[in-house]
């Protein structure tokens, strides 16, 4: 993987808490920086994810932030103990950068491998052969398992995408899911509830992430993203077409064109198409309630003989990076109330918990290794669906709206 050498916090070469030596910066976004480090006693690699609060954290606010951070870290630890496909959290703490900034950090198991988005890009460049639906399901099976574990414990991810999946270099190239949203908990500052702020990636986002009037987010939101990932990998096309947030939002919410394999010209069996259509329904209440039933139905549908074959695997291109949402306390809309699956009023734990968004979206212009985006052009033309609720990506858009 291409590693950037820039280190905005100047931590490379320093020791953290007397236990870890920071070796290299791996990646950064506006809200966090991931380093590779070495445990000084065990001589094992770990990943250290340092969270950059949106604004300097006053000393008296730190305890509250750390307490919340510890709760989230404990939850992640517990989750990863129950499912080997979830990246383990190993330690937690805070550090002061050479410039004097206080920041919390999380120590994670070091995942030695390639993130799926990088792998897909490499495959495209090398003209790798096609992936069948069965191959895609095999590759994503651990991820479905990870999400199933999380959903079983009331935790949602809400940012399922290739960039949050790593294929380990060792063994059977098992895939692992990471980035369970603690960044969003820290990034919102100490004065606001964790559940008011979260992030998502427009290219893999469900309608309710773009617009709260579609309902609450929950496990069904992860179902949608996982289904999009399947469709993209068997089709070699971006399932949600568009370059800008507005266009992607329209594609996600368009009742007349769902991003199923057949809509993208890919021949799959009736059952596969039906299962994916349901997983990609606009209304959250029409989707599978969580990933387990979705995956069970999809894997059995895929074992049925399909007429024809899938098209050659081409590749996913990089998508716009995570979006930081600022949610005014979401007064739940009448539409959201009483929606199916007994979801109304159900509380999901605040790891990447998404309530709703109706005021604004600002794009974090961040991901360090973001590949060129597709040509604009489709952007504002059909903004009617989401008019007024989406801010278009661009250098003048603030990272977070006040």
Ligand X SMILES: Nc1ncnc2c1ncn2[C@@H]1O[C@H](COP(=O)(O)OP(=O)(O)O)[C@@H](O)[C@H]1O
- Which residues form the interface with ligand X (CB under 6 A)? 26-27, 29, 32, 34, 47, 49, 87, 108-111, 115, 163-164, 178-179, 183, 322
Decide the pairing of beta strands 45-51 and 165-168: unpaired
Shortest CB 183 distance to ligand X, Å: 4
Helices of type H across 83-177? 116-126, 133-152
Shortest CB 396 distance to ligand X, Å: 23
- Tokens standing for 311? 């098209």
Shortest CB 372 distance to ligand X, Å: 18
Shortest CB 232 distance to Mg ion, Å: 17
Sheet holding 113-115, edge to edge: 113-115, 165-168, 175-177
Is 179:164 a contact under the CB 8 Å cutoff? yes
Q: How far apart are CA 154 and CA 69, in angstroms?
A: 18
Which residues in this chain contact Mg ion in the complex, by CB under 5 A?
A: 164, 179
Shortest CB 163 distance to Mg ion, Å: 5
Nearest CB to ligand X, comparing residues 89 and 282: 89
Q: Choose among ligand X, Mg ion, none what residue 219 binds, the Cβ cut-off being 5 to 8 Å by kind.
A: none
Nearest CB to ligand X, comparing residues 26 and 281: 26
Shortest CB 166 distance to ligand X, Å: 6
Nearest CB to Mg ion, comparing residues 111 and 133: 111
Nearest Cα to Cα of residue 105 among 51, 66, 61 = 51
Q: Choose among ligand X, Mg ion, none what residue 108 binds, the Cβ cut-off being 5 to 8 Å by kind.
A: ligand X
Q: Choose among ligand X, Mg ion, none what residue 34 binds, the Cβ cut-off being 5 to 8 Å by kind.
A: ligand X
Q: How far apart are CA 142 and CA 309, in angstroms?
A: 24
Shortest CB 319 distance to ligand X, Å: 13
Q: How far apart are CA 182 and CA 48, in angstroms?
A: 13
Q: How far apart are CA 36 and CA 16, in angstroms?
A: 12
Per DSSP, what are the bridge partners of residue 166? 115, 176
Nearest CB to ligand X, comparing residues 133 and 166: 166
Nearest CB to ligand X, comparing residues 160 and 240: 160
Decide the pairing of beta strands 102-109 and 175-177: unpaired
Neighbour tally for 333: CB within 10 Å: 15
Is 181:159 a contact under the CB 8 Å cutoff? yes
- Tokens standing for 288? 């599978």
Three-class SS state of 108: strand
Q: Choose among Mg ion, ligand X, none what residue 226 binds, the Cβ cut-off being 5 to 8 Å by kind.
A: none
Q: Choose among ligand X, Mg ion, none what residue 266 binds, the Cβ cut-off being 5 to 8 Å by kind.
A: none
Nearest CB to Mg ion, comparing residues 267 and 369: 369
Q: Choose among Mg ion, ligand X, none what residue 32 binds, the Cβ cut-off being 5 to 8 Å by kind.
A: ligand X
Nearest CB to ligand X, comparing residues 331 and 371: 371
């Amino acid at each position: 993987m291409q590693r950037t050498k820039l280190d905005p916090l100047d931590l490379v070469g320093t020791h953290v808490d007397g236990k870890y030596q920071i070796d290299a910066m791996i990646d950064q976004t506006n809200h966090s920086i991931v380093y590779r480090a070495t445990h000084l006693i065990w001589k094992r690699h770990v990943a250290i994810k340092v969270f950059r609060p949106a604004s300097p954290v006053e000393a008296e606010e730190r305890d509250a932030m750390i307490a919340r951070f510890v709760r989230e870290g404990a939850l992640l630890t517990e989750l990863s103990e129950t499912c080997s496909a979830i990246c383990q959290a190993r330690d937690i703490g805070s550090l002061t950068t050479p410039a004097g900034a206080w920041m919390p950090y999380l120590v994670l198991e070091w995942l030695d491998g390639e993130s799926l988005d990088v792998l897909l890009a490499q495959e495209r460049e090398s003209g790798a052969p096609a992936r069948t639906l069965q191959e895609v399901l095999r590759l994503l099976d651990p991820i479905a398992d990870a999400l199933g574990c999380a959903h079983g414990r009331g935790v949602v991810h809400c940012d399922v995408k290739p960039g949050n999946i790593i294929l380990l270099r060792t063994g059977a190239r098992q895939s692992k899911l990471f980035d369970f949203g603690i960044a969003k908990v820290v990034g919102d500052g100490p004065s606001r509830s964790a559940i008011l702020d979260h992030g998502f990636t427009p290219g893999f986002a469900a309608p309710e992430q773009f617009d709260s009037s579609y309902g609450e987010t929950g496990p069904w939101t992860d179902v949608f993203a996982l289904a999009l990932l399947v469709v993209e990998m068997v089709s070699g096309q971006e399932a949600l077409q568009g370059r800008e947030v507005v266009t992607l939002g329209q594609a996600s919410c368009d009742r007349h064109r769902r991003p199923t394999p057949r809509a993208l010209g890919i021949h799959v069996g009736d059952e596969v198409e039906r299962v994916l259509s349901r997983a990609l329904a606009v209304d959250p209440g029409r989707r599978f309630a969580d990933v387990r039933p979705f995956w069970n139905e999809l894997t059995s549908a895929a074992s049925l003989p399909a007429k024809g074959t899938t098209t050659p695997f081409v590749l996913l291109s990089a998508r716009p990076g995570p979006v930081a949402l600022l949610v005014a306390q979401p007064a739940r809309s009448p539409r959201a109330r009483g929606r199916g699956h007994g979801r109304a009023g159900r509380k999901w734990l605040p790891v990447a918990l998404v309530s709703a968004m109706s005021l604004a979206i600002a794009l974090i212009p961040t991901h360090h290794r973001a590949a060129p985006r597709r040509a604009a052009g489709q952007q504002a033309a059909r903004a009617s669906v989401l008019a007024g609720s989406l801010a278009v990506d661009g250098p003048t858009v603030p990272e977070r709206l006040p």
